[in-house]
Amino acid sequence: MKTNLKKFIGTAVLGVALFSHSILAWAGAVSLPEVVVDEVYRVAHGSTAGARYSPDDQQYIGCSVDNPFVTCFAKDKAGKYLFCSSTDPRSLAVVKAITDFSSIDFASDPGTSSCTALIVTNDSTYLR
Amino acid sequence: MKVHLKKMLSLAALGMSLFTTTVPTWAGFVSTPEVYIGVNGNGLSYARGSMVGARYSADNTQRIACRITFDSSIPNLYMECFAADSGGKLLSCSSAAPEYLEAVQAMTDSSYIYFEVGRYGQCRGVSITDSSGLLK
């Protein structure tokens, strides 16, 4: 009887300890948008954390800088891919704001693949 | 023997679990303010709060964020900041001022953000603080 009670208490404590881990992950507003590529309108959107921790192994979104060239790229879970590039210093200023909790939106010109719009949002809800 | 092994394993699991839970609470100075929206002495609305304080708050309404937008059809970059407090109060501002754009570039996941809003919704002051105490 005593052993059973001990076992019960031990299990309960373990359960609470494990539960408190998950509570931390649940609390607060969180939104981790996954990558969406629209090949018709040539726009892409997604968050760095949403792509990285998505259940599939396809998604990614990001930008690279090889001054003065900026290239942004995205691939969604269906394998749709889009990129844009720019030598406009303004696009470089935007890319400098990317963190591990950013969402990235970009639009790619259908003829030249140059970036016609690029938005970086750093939001507390994108923190994992 | 089997019972002892089981007991040891469960104690070890419990110990590990408690250890990993408590270590972050004990270690180092931590201050991660939640989002507050108010009016300052100049009559300007302002918002302040940390990324971590907002993200890991007990409610699910708090939020603080800033963004930079490049649109090839307009000459200037512009930035926006927005905040929501636990009571659902909202505040936002926007600006094309280079100093505020640079402030947004300094954001990290351990930032504390403060912004003031002018009469026409323009950002009047944006400051970003990054500090060890603001880390989760």
Q: Distance between CA B70 and CA A88 in Å, rounded?
A: 10
Bridge partners (DSSP) listed for residue B122: B94
Q: What is the mean pLDDT of residues B39-53?
A: 96
Compute the residue count for chain A.
128
CB contact under 8 A, A124 and B62: yes
A91 shares contact with chain B (CB less than 8 Å): yes
Residue B9 pLDDT > 70, yes or no? no
Q: How far is B62 from chain A (nearest CA, A)?
A: 6
Binned at pLDDT 50, 70 and 90, residue B5 comes out as low
Confirm if A126 and A32 have CB atoms less than 8 A apart.
Answer: yes
Nearest-CA neighbor of B135 among B11, B8, B32?
Answer: B32
CB contact under 8 A, A116 and B73: yes
Nearest-CA neighbor of B34 among B129, B112, B110, B104?
Answer: B112
pLDDT, position B14: 52
Please work out, in degrees rounded to the nearest 5, the angle formed at the alpha carbon of residue A35 by the alpha carbons of A52 and A30: 65
Binned at pLDDT 50, 70 and 90, residue A21 comes out as very low
DSSP-assigned states of every residue in A64-107 = EEETTEEEEEEE-TT--EEEEEE--HHHHHHHTT--TTEEEEEE
DSSP-assigned states of every residue in A27-50 = SS----PPPEEETTTTEEEEEHHH
Q: A65-90: per-residue pLDDT in tens?
A: 999 999 999 999 999 999 999 999 99
Domain coordinates in residue numbering, chain B: 28-134
Q: What is the mean pLDDT of residues A19-27?
A: 45
Q: How far is A72 from chain B (nearest CA, A)?
A: 13
Q: Is A69 helix (H, G, I), strand (E, B) or coil?
A: strand
A118 shares contact with chain B (CB less than 8 Å): yes
A55 shares contact with chain B (CB less than 8 Å): no
Pairs of residues, one from chain A and one from chain B, whose beta carbons lie less than 8 Å apart: 115
Give the nearest partner residue to A10 out of B14, B69, B104, using CB atoms: B14
Model-level pTM? 0.80
A116 shares contact with chain B (CB less than 8 Å): yes
CB contact under 8 A, B107 and A116: no
